Structure 1
Amino acid sequence: MFFKVKRICSIVAATLLLNATLVLVQSASVFAADAPVDLKLNVRSAILMEASTGQVLYEMNADEAYPPASMSKMMTEYLVMEAIKSGKLSETETVNTSPYAASVIGSGGLLAPNEQSTVDNLFAAMSIYSANDASVTLAERIAGTEEDFAKMMNDKAKEMKLSDKAHFINATGLPRADMGKYAPTGIQGETMLTARDAAIIAYNIIKDHKEVLKYTATPSRKFREKDKAPMINWNWMLEGNKDNVNFKKYAYQGLDGLKTGSTKEALYCFTGTAERNGMRLISVVMGAPKEPDRFIETRKVLDYGFNNFEFVPVLNAKQEIKELKTVNIKKGVATEVPVVTQSELKIIAKKGTPKEQFQPTAEPLSDESKLVAPIAQGQVLGTVKITYGGKDYTTNLVASEQVEKGSWFRLFFRAVKDFFVDLFSGAKKG
């Protein structure tokens, strides 16, 4: 008997040890999967974001603020496109260049004082050639002065929920010293952004004004038809450069934007975006030491994203969710209605992630008292959520069939039935 007990104890101990070992191995796997990735980037900061969800896939010093140089023009682009969309500005409208705008130093040098140019041409100059004169001309047209336009930029930064480090002092990204006597008096400091801020601006541009890509994807364009030389895009990584003898070694499949920037203080910066197989990524690198480095390092960041992540279809459209197959309704021919997903739900996840990690949570509308017949087919009655990578993905649950309002006769007898059911249930409990 003693040896039997001893043998049983040994088996139990071995089993417990095996289970503990499995737990440790599983934990180690989780920690290994979540361990920070070192891409060995030669930049001050970087971030990688998926463009449809805003999910961050990689970051390095992403919340440290640095001068962004002309990357800040992404906010100028956003406000110009917003003005066009709202009807306050037209692409074909002709705008006058002020003497100040024509005198702004740095990239550009295209415009003469009081020269008339279309909004389309000015926007192309800003987006392709990073033209400071065109940027100020557009800013003055929208806000009256560049300083007032910078205030609009800061207001939009708050609206986009950028960090409290995000700050704009002009439409160009030039440092205060380069503005000379035209430096703003009502706005202090310098233009600053974090890599995360730059990615969020890019995310909003692509979400709200995707037409910007028709400009940013252009390798070269003449400002005026009579010009002998075209404006050359500062973005060497454009896919359109794949046959350009000077830039083809930098050209990147699917890359069509977004904005470069460089000053002595900022070094070399680049916000890029590329789309492959239906997945668009946004990358930001800040503070590369040399001009080619901003593209070499961006390639590392984008390669990491495209090589390691993919969209996983976790729910189909019109799919029944076992956690919530029906939703209760009032005053209908039926007391409940079947629900299905309104649309397909995709999640950006690491390649090879087991589907067991994508568990849905479904619930009816928070105010179920409003779910009263008649119910139309396709009416939103609830939501289904899947949490992955610290982000919630949701789609609506809709009625898969219509439910007519019940007659007063039906509703009366249903009420009588419910009354007696509740009465007898209470008696049994008592």
Structure 2
Amino acid sequence: MKHKQPQRKSTTKRRFLRKSVASVLLLNLLCFSLAPVMALAEGEQTESTSTESTTTETTTVQTTATSIPSVNSLGLEVSSAILLEPVSGQILLNVNGDQPLPPASMTKMMTEYIVAELVKQGKFSWDDVVTVGKNAAQTIGSRIFLAEGDQHTIEELYTAMAIASANDATVALAEHVAGSEQAFVKMMNDEAKRMGMNTAHFANSTGLDIADMPEGFRPADGQETVMSALDAAILAKYIVTDHPDFTRFTTIQSKKFRERDTSPMVNLNWMLEANKEVTNFKQFAYEGLDGLKTGHTSNAGNCFTGTAERNGMRLISVVMGTASDKARFVETRKVLDFGFNNFETKQIVPPKTTVAGTETVTVKKAKNTEIPVVTDQAVSFVVPKGADTSAVQPTVTLADEGTLTAPLKQGTKVGTVTYSFKAPGMDQTLEKTVNLITAEDAEKAGWFKLMMRAIGEFFSDLFNGIKNLF
């Protein structure tokens, strides 16, 4: 038995050697396994530090938001004033903006809108010839001295109305379009209601006081033309939005109506940016200003609806009841400066955005019943410069999911989302509603899949029913 002792020792050594090697391998394995974890932990720490740095930087930017001066600090000398951003419809400044007042020739903006809209629809052409009637020929005030029976194109008369505020040209257009000025006035008042102009009432196409209209052509009710500054801004918004080519007329600085005329018509809007090169008007010229309409009567005082665009943001200003023709432009500058100096258009939500909590909708009979949804367009607000917009709140309204059945095309509307935001320094809560649409096609599942899904749902309901018995 003694001769077997060396073999037993050799076996023990081999076992010990194997355990040692295994231990080393296990230790190496653990080390290599921990290395990625340590690296990941280090990466997470670095990423966390980076995120904190970004947040800090963002906060620094956000705290530099413009401090909006009070409207009182502008020292406006007006009966009323409005500043409006036409894309969002936001009101940035309001001084008695809801008060109905005589608008004088700012009334012609509605005549301009209706005529341009009818041309756009193809019912009339800019080259159509207008024959001047008795009413137009007898109209007083700003005019181009049309005689009864004169013939001019719609474009020629429209130009005279837009840049020289010609009352006779305006009446000639109204009568050509509707047959009579009072029939045209009905169209004006109907359009005002459609646009949401709550205080506006039109007595004629020009803005003249009724007593200054030719006898025999005055409205029977004797109700004068009135329009609030807000209504004027709404009307201007429709012009610049529905007819973005309005500048084809409003930026003409001067033009002869007839070749034989000794002097040209001069644009009554002294604030046109192009006037910076004109000696008499350069003190009023305003960067980006390209419209829109002046107005003056003894009852209205001096009024002006102006519009200007800078850095992709257009603003519409209205001042009413200023003391002089110069004052209306001085006050307009104050109003527009208030807007451009203190506000900016900021995209709050880009297009094709997923709304947290409403990433998908359920579509019956689809191959994949959960279909992703996104917003159909971007959301932008006009906010104080540098404002923190992180507090925007979405409110989702979905269609009844029982009505959503495959197949559905990509881009199908399945609901809406309203984004709300109250910017610091602004009284109003800003809101915009956009559609939620499917981000991909919802293809209908085959009959076999629908059958198996129905069987699964049957047994699931059965199991839940049995479970609820106990």
Percentage of identical aligned residues: 49
1:285 offset after TM fit, Å? 0.4
Gap regions ≥5 residues in structure 1: 1-28
Decide whether the 8 Å contact of 1:218 with 1:240 is kept in 2. no
Taking the TM superposition and a 5 Å limit, the aligned residue runs for 1:69-218 are 69-163=104-198, 165-218=199-252
Q: Indicate the residue corresponding to 2:419 in structure 1.
A: 386
Q: 1:413 to 1:303 in 2, by over 3 A?
A: same
Q: Quote the Cα distance in structure 1 between the aligned partners of 2:174 and 2:214.
A: 18
Q: Indicate the residue corresponding to 1:403 in structure 2.
A: 442
1:370 aligns with 2:403: yes
Deviations 1:192-239 (A, max 9, x none): 111111111111112222222211122112212343322111000011
Could you tell me the TM-score, scaled by structure 2's length?
A: 0.81
SS state of the match for residue 58, structure 1? strand
Q: Indicate the residue corresponding to 1:345 in structure 2.
A: 379
Taking the TM superposition and a 5 Å limit, the aligned residue runs for 1:144-293 are 144-163=179-198, 165-293=199-327
Decide whether the 8 Å contact of 2:144 with 2:160 is kept in 1. no
1:180 offset after TM fit, Å? 4.3
Q: 1:290 to 1:367 in 2, by over 3 A?
A: same
SS state of the match for residue 356, structure 1? coil
Decide whether the 8 Å contact of 1:46 with 1:195 is kept in 2. yes
Taking the TM superposition and a 5 Å limit, the aligned residue runs for 1:325-336 are 325-336=359-370
Query: Mean alpha-carbon deviation: is it higher for 275-284 or for 208-217?
Result: 208-217
Letter in 2 for 1:402: D
Could you tell me the TM-score, scaled by structure 1's length?
A: 0.88
SS state of the match for residue 62, structure 1? coil
Gap regions ≥5 residues in structure 2: 1-62, 422-427
Query: Mean alpha-carbon deviation: is it higher for 117-126 or for 186-195?
Result: 186-195
Decide whether the 8 Å contact of 2:347 with 2:381 is kept in 1. yes
Query: Mean alpha-carbon deviation: is it higher for 265-274 or for 95-104?
Result: 95-104
SS state of the match for residue 166, structure 1? coil
1:183 offset after TM fit, Å? 4.6
Q: Quote the Cα distance in structure 1 between the aligned partners of 2:462 and 2:307.
A: 65
Q: Quote the Cα distance in structure 1 between the aligned partners of 2:219 and 2:313.
A: 44
1:413 aligns with 2:452: yes
SS state of the match for residue 395, structure 1? strand
Deviations 1:234-291 (A, max 9, x none): 0000111111111111111111111000001100000011111111111100000111
Deviations 1:115-141 (A, max 9, x none): 110100100000010000100000000
SS state of the match for residue 65, structure 1? coil
Structure with greater Cα Rg = 2
Q: Quote the Cα distance in structure 2 between the aligned partners of 1:184 and 1:411.
A: 73
Letter in 1 for 2:410: Q
1:428 offset after TM fit, Å? 4.1
Q: Indicate the residue corresponding to 2:11 in structure 1.
A: none
Letter in 2 for 1:210: P
Q: Quote the Cα distance in structure 1 between the aligned partners of 2:375 and 2:226.
A: 43
Q: Quote the Cα distance in structure 2 between the aligned partners of 1:142 and 1:113.
A: 17
SS state of the match for residue 337, structure 1? strand
Q: Indicate the residue corresponding to 1:41 in structure 2.
A: 76
Q: Quote the Cα distance in structure 2 between the aligned partners of 1:272 and 1:211.
A: 16
Q: Quote the Cα distance in structure 1 between the aligned partners of 2:259 and 2:361.
A: 64
Letter in 2 for 1:239: E
Q: Quote the Cα distance in structure 2 between the aligned partners of 1:77 and 1:223.
A: 18
Decide whether the 8 Å contact of 1:102 with 1:109 is kept in 2. no
Decide whether the 8 Å contact of 1:69 with 1:263 is kept in 2. yes
